[in-house]
Chains A and B, each alone.
Chain A
Amino acid sequence: MTENTTGGDVRLTGISKTYGSFTAVHPLDLTVPQGSFFALLGASGCGKTTTLRMIAGLEDPSAGSVFLGDRDVTDLPPYKRPVNTVFQSYALFPHMDISENIAFGLRRRGIKSVKKQVDEMLELVQLGDKAKHKPHQLSGGQQQRVAVARALINHPQVLLLDEPLGALDLKLRRQMQLELKRIQTEVGITFVHVTHDQEEAMTMADQVAVMNGGRVEQLGAPADLYENPRTTFVANFLGTSNLIEAEVVETGSDVVVTAGGGKLEVPGDRCTDAVRRGGKLLVGVRPEKISLAHADDAGSIADGRNRVTGRIVDSSFIGVSTQYVVNSPAGAELQVYEQNIERDARLVPGAEVVLHWNPAHTFGLDADQSLLAGTVGAAGVETVEDAS
């Protein structure tokens, strides 16, 4: 592909940011492919917003470079970069009406006849009738769309979105997620989206980079991240994981471990490298992969499945599923989600049960990391708006 027609990839090489003795972003290399919807996911203070602001030029990196295609833009001020941002809480100019807000970028670049483009943009975000309103007269969702229109009208090579849906209520959020996805497909511009909401990142993005403590923990497609987390942080931050501490007994194409007296199998290619040496391993399995059987029916469970025995301590009916909390010798408070297809009336708190699942759904993680990293309530992880 040729340069300057559509821009090329966003490349960050060795980019870092320090404030005094605090390191907001550790040196990182990252390539965002052209035309993709890319999400930077993490809790508040993980460095994702700082990374975004360095791409925008609003923050000078302490070291490293930012490339758009083959062009080094590290030293360009934000107003000379072909990059636009949708700000957190929108930053619409309160003293201008909607069409003036949208035309702002075009006017600054000396374009005189902006009417047609502004009208088209208003149409794209379905706000044709609000052109002469002031920002404060619009609802949150409408303001959000104006912010998108104000950035997109400039046809940037990259659109940066800083928690664009953070201020919206849940229902509107879901709607705007689809809306943004539609717009991205329509205009074909690279979107880099910063969010703390894992569900948002997974529904919208082609690629997700999970950030923690100023570093990228893992990067990949949403399904890949979910199925094959490589750290406990990713395992816990994306959805819920049951993590069981286990001893390695046998290594090979399948790794065999013991936990709480029982044996479990983990596919060798789903374990981190360190495990092959033996010793300890964290065995992980997602709650929805587990089936629950009453202890009386233990005999009818097919061979070759991983099994853990335990006792139900809590159950809550969610509608599509029932969530159980099970205590077992292998680990306390294991989570199990059962589809509500045929409910077994015996599965109530206090009942003895067997948890069983296909060993292929098991993954193994390094044992020398915190079990709780990335869970709600663990240090540094809150699902609040990113303040940085």
Chain B
Amino acid sequence: MTWLRKNLVVIAGLLTLAYMILPNVVVMAFSFNKPNGRFNYSWQQFSLDAWKDPCGVADLCESLTLSLQLAAWATVGAVVLGTMIAFALVRYRFRARGAINSLIFLPMAMPEVVMAASLLTLFLNMGIELGFWTVLIAHIMFCLSFVVTAVKARVMSMDPRLEEAARDLYAGPAQTFLRVTLPIAAPGIAAGALLAFALSFDDFIITNFNAGSTVTFPMFVWGSAQRGTPVQINVIGTAMFVLAVLIVVAGQIITNRRKKTATA
């Protein structure tokens, strides 16, 4: 009984973790299913069919490629614009700081559906045709605030003396930025970029409003939830999950090695 009380937090935490992982397990398991009919919701029999032919469903891999491209461009856009804003906010004094802070905070404090609907109103009123570009615009818009937040945190914790030291040691403004500021701010920028990529890749609500006939991967999944869910969806979901975990684990091992050789 005392054991239980002592480890209550651990047990509760692990139960939560199980709750969070359970759907991924199901997704993985059902990627080996051979469903009866159009929907892949109940277990029938083991099969490797979907894994052998992940692009076997019309438009699936096209939508995946589109989503990856979209996420890549949205990340570039949001990181460039967001990093500039973050530096301006931390390093300079200027007018209307409060207004600018609110403008950056508000997109994060707004239900997505509100932003989605209002942006659609703009595009409709302006007569802009919906498609890849409108989605890209929207993704950069909502990723921007998150990038600003991530980069700002890093830049704030940066010692301004490091840049002064660079300037003192004959590095001009451009050299100082490239050789000192950027390398030191890099982890913050990387975190912002990762977040932007994930948010953009996985976005559904804003995309659904502003994509017109363009089909991103989440929209393909949404559509298939109505028409019938191909097993390949699970294959791709599982593959990405495994890939992500592998990348993180590999990264961890590399940093551990580096630490070891550095202290040796």
Q: Tell me whether B171 and A79 are in contact (CB under 8 A).
A: yes
Q: Tell me whether B161 and A79 are in contact (CB under 8 A).
A: no
Query: A95 contacts the other chain (Cβ, under 8 Å)?
Result: yes
Query: A376 contacts the other chain (Cβ, under 8 Å)?
Result: no
**Chain B, 19-69, CB within 8 A of any chain A CB:** none
Query: Which residue, of B165, B168, B172, B262, has the highest number of chain A Cβ atoms within 10 A?
Result: B168
Known contacts A94-B184, A105-B170, A154-B169; A58/B162 CB under 8 A = no
Q: Tell me whether A104 and B263 are in contact (CB under 8 A).
A: no
CA distance A137 to B258 in the complex (A): 13
Q: Tell me whether A84 and B169 are in contact (CB under 8 A).
A: yes
B154 to chain A, nearest CB (A): 13
- Output the nearest chain B residue to A77 by Cβ-Cβ distance: B167
Q: Tell me whether A104 and B171 are in contact (CB under 8 A).
A: yes
Q: Tell me whether A78 and B168 are in contact (CB under 8 A).
A: yes
CB neighbours (8 Å) of B168 from chain A are: 56-58, 78-79, 83-85, 87, 151
CA distance A151 to B183 in the complex (A): 21
CA distance A137 to B162 in the complex (A): 18
Query: B164 contacts the other chain (Cβ, under 8 Å)?
Result: yes
- Output the nearest chain B residue to A156 by Cβ-Cβ distance: B168
CB neighbours (8 Å) of A56 from chain B are: 168
CA distance A58 to B263 in the complex (A): 35
A49 to chain B, nearest CB (A): 11
Q: Tell me whether A79 and B184 are in contact (CB under 8 A).
A: no
**Chain A, 87-123, CB within 8 A of any chain B CB:** 87-89, 91-95, 104-105, 108-109
Q: Tell me whether B164 and A58 are in contact (CB under 8 A).
A: yes
Picked from B161, B176, B179, the residue with its CB within 8 Å of the CB of A88 is B161
Picked from A83, A89, A137, the residue with its CB within 8 Å of the CB of B263 is A137
Q: Tell me whether B166 and A104 are in contact (CB under 8 A).
A: yes
CA distance A321 to B263 in the complex (A): 47
Q: Tell me whether A87 and B161 are in contact (CB under 8 A).
A: yes
Picked from A78, A88, A95, A134, the residue with its CB within 8 Å of the CB of B167 is A78
Query: B130 contacts the other chain (Cβ, under 8 Å)?
Result: no
Query: B256 contacts the other chain (Cβ, under 8 Å)?
Result: no
Which secondary structure dominates where chain B touches chain A? Answer: helix
CB neighbours (8 Å) of B172 from chain A are: 77, 79, 108
**Chain B, 154-203, CB within 8 A of any chain A CB:** 159, 161-162, 164-172, 175-176, 179-180, 183-184
A107 to chain B, nearest CB (A): 9
CB neighbours (8 Å) of B183 from chain A are: 95
CA distance A134 to B259 in the complex (A): 11
CA distance A95 to B167 in the complex (A): 17
Picked from A91, A105, A109, the residue with its CB within 8 Å of the CB of B161 is A91
- Output the nearest chain B residue to A78 by Cβ-Cβ distance: B167
Query: A150 contacts the other chain (Cβ, under 8 Å)?
Result: yes
Query: Which residue, of B169, B171, B179, has the highest number of chain A Cβ atoms within 10 A?
Result: B169
CA distance A345 to B56 in the complex (A): 104
Q: Tell me whether A104 and B167 are in contact (CB under 8 A).
A: no
Picked from B162, B170, B262, B263, the residue with its CB within 8 Å of the CB of A93 is B162
Q: Tell me whether B159 and A154 are in contact (CB under 8 A).
A: no
A339 to chain B, nearest CB (A): 45
CB neighbours (8 Å) of B263 from chain A are: 137
Known contacts A93-B162, A95-B183; A108/B262 CB under 8 A = no
B199 to chain A, nearest CB (A): 28
A98 to chain B, nearest CB (A): 12
CA distance A104 to B263 in the complex (A): 23
Q: Tell me whether A91 and B159 are in contact (CB under 8 A).
A: yes
Q: Interface residues, chain A, CB within 8 Å of chain B? A: 56-58, 77-80, 83-85, 87-89, 91-95, 104-105, 108-109, 133-134, 137, 150-151, 154
Q: Interface residues, chain B, CB within 8 Å of chain A? A: 159, 161-162, 164-172, 175-176, 179-180, 183-184, 262-263
Can you name 22 A-B pairs with beta carbons within 8 Å? A58-B164, A58-B168, A77-B172, A78-B164, A78-B168, A79-B167, A79-B169, A79-B170, A80-B170, A84-B168, A85-B164, A89-B161, A91-B159, A91-B162, A93-B162, A93-B166, A94-B162, A104-B179, A108-B170, A108-B175, A133-B262, A137-B263
Other A-B pairs, 9, CB within 8 Å; known A104-B166, A150-B165: A58-B167, A77-B167, A83-B168, A85-B164, A87-B168, A91-B159, A93-B180, A104-B169, A137-B262
